[in-house]
Chain A
Amino acid sequence: MSTAAGVSRSRTPYLLLLPGMLWLAVFFVIPLVSLLMQSVQTPLPGGLPGQFEQTFRFANFVDVLSRTEFLGALGRSFLYALSATVIALLIAYPLAYAIALRAGRAKPLFLVLVVAPFFVSFVLRTIAWRQILGAEGPVVSTLQALHLVPDNFSVYPSPFAVIAGLTYNFLPFMTLPIYASLDRLDTRLIEAAQDLYSSSWTAFRKVTLPISMPGVVAGTLLTFIPASGDYINAQLLGNATTTMVGNVVDARFLQNSDYPTASVLSFTLMAIILAMVFAYVRRAGTEELV
Chain B
Amino acid sequence: MISFRNIRKSFGPKQVLKGVSFDVQDGEVFFIIGASGVGKSVLIKHLVGLLCPDEGEIWLDGQEISKFDEEQMYPVRRKCAMVFQHSTLFDSMSCEENVALPLRKHKKLNARQAIAEARRLLDKVHMAEFASRFPAELGDGMRKRVAIARALTLDPTYILFDEPTTSLDPINARRVDHLIRELSNSLGVTSIVVSHDLVSIFTIADRIVMLYKGEVRLLGTPDDFRNTTDGVVRQFTRGLAQGPMDI
Q: Do A and B bind each other?
A: no
